[in-house]
Structure 1
Amino acid sequence: MTLDRPPSPNASPAASVREPAPGPTDAGASAVPDLRPHRSRRLWSRRDIPAALVALAVLAACTALLYGAAAVWAGAATGNWLLGLTEELTTRPLGDPWVLAGAAVAAAVGVWLLVIALTPGLRNWLPLAAPGDAPNPTDAYLDRAGAALLLRDALMRVPGVGRVRVRVGRRRVRARVDVRFRDPREVRGEVTDVLREQVDALGPARTPRIAVRTRRLR
């Protein structure tokens, strides 16, 4: 069974596993699986509905402008706001500040849409190094908010720690620790060791860098 999308963000912070359908195996092949971990690929969000909505909106806008331009060229009255807007767009020079501003906004929106189309999305899901055999690898993912809660609970057990804020990214894990007692440098070293151990236990596909900042509570 293949899960095309991850579970709901309101679910418990557990890992999401995608298991492809088993392929045909030879009768004489060995049934011993290969447990070497492999790097899970990033999840791509489904964009069929947003793409269809954007296409319909662009089609409606282009149709309205084309109708207005045809009506203006045909000599229709300009009492309608659409005809008035079309007349303004067709009569203003290219060097007009409003025309340049509209072109800049349209270019920015186009670049934004291209970036959204070419990037995977679903940044709250962290790819894990999951075990699996060579012909049928298994992809596993962990919610970043759930991973941050697990790391925060582990750091709260360090003596001297009063409050912890953890952010989990694809390339870096940041932790800000408020120290109630003990030397902040000793607490920072112990927090770094615990954080590195817990991150290794989670098994991310790419080992992130650890960044810890400590401050003493007054």
Structure 2
Amino acid sequence: MALAVLLLAALGPLLYDVVAVRAERPAAAWRTELADQLANRTLDDPWVLAVAAALLLLGIALVVAALTPGLRGVLPMRRADTRVRPGVERNAAAQVVRDRAMEVAGVLSVRVRVGRSRVRVSARAHFRDLDEVRTDLDSAMHHAVEELDLAHRPALTIQVSRPAS
């Protein structure tokens, strides 16, 4: 966002001047001076080389910024203080939900996937009725997601099945 505002501030006057020239008004003095300078300087001029090096570094910085992953693996938590931005990693959130699911009686194994907007729980039940396990697991999973205290409550998808025998 900051880069977009910076580019708008830098390129806005240029765009305005181009539109003014197209509307048959005279070009701005700074633009005619810049055009004269660019026409008179050679490629081995120190100023041209310095500007080219600066633009090269800016381009490399933009490519690096585009390729960095950012914070997609971190789920934002509710903020008690505006100066602190708490978050929990998706793997840690999945582990918390998985631990709570394994505490439910009758659950043999659990697979949890935590996304940005959805928590998917796949459980295998072994000795209790599937409906009872699903009811208990649903209650435990809603409580586990509440414990995470996420800023945006994710949707919860729960599947309970028997292991293949």
TM-score normalized with structure 2 length: 0.58
Structure 1 gaps, min length 5? 1-48, 56-115
CA distance in 2, matches of 1:54, 1:197: 42
Q: How well do the aligned residues superpose, as a CA RMSD in angstroms?
A: 2.8
Residue number in structure 2 paired with 1:91: none
- 2:112 pairs with 159, 163, 166, which one? 166
CA distance in 2, matches of 1:138, 1:54: 27
Pairing of 1:2-41 with structure 2 (within 5 A): none
How far the C-alpha of 1:53 sits from its partner, in A, is 7.5
Aligned amino acid, residue 166 of structure 1? V
Residue number in structure 2 paired with 1:125: 74
Answering whether residue 97 of structure 2 is matched by residue 151 of structure 1, we say: yes
Residue number in structure 1 paired with 2:42: none
Residue number in structure 2 paired with 1:175: 121
CA distance in 2, matches of 1:172, 1:206: 10
How far the C-alpha of 1:54 sits from its partner, in A, is 8.0
- Name the SS for the 1:130 alignment partner: coil
- 1:52 pairs with 52, 57, 60, which one? 60
CA distance in 2, matches of 1:54, 1:140: 27
- 2:153 pairs with 203, 207, 216, which one? 207
CA distance in 1, matches of 2:61, 2:85: 31
Aligned amino acid, residue 131 of structure 1? A
Structure 2 gaps, min length 5? 1-56
Query: 1 or 2, which has the higher helix percentage?
Result: 2
- Name the SS for the 1:204 alignment partner: coil
Highest Rg: 1 or 2? Answer: 2
Kindly, what percent of the aligned residue pairs are identical? 36
Name which structure has the greater RCO, CA cutoff 8 Å, separation 6+: 1
Flag as ranges the 4+ runs of structure 1 deviating above 6 A: none
Aligned amino acid, residue 137 of structure 1? R
Residue number in structure 2 paired with 1:63: none
Cα displacement string for residues 114-145 of structure 1 (whole angstroms, at most 9, x for unaligned residues): xx94x97422101000211xxx4321010110
CA distance in 2, matches of 1:123, 1:189: 32
Aligned amino acid, residue 114 of structure 2? V
CA distance in 1, matches of 2:134, 2:70: 33
Aligned length: 107
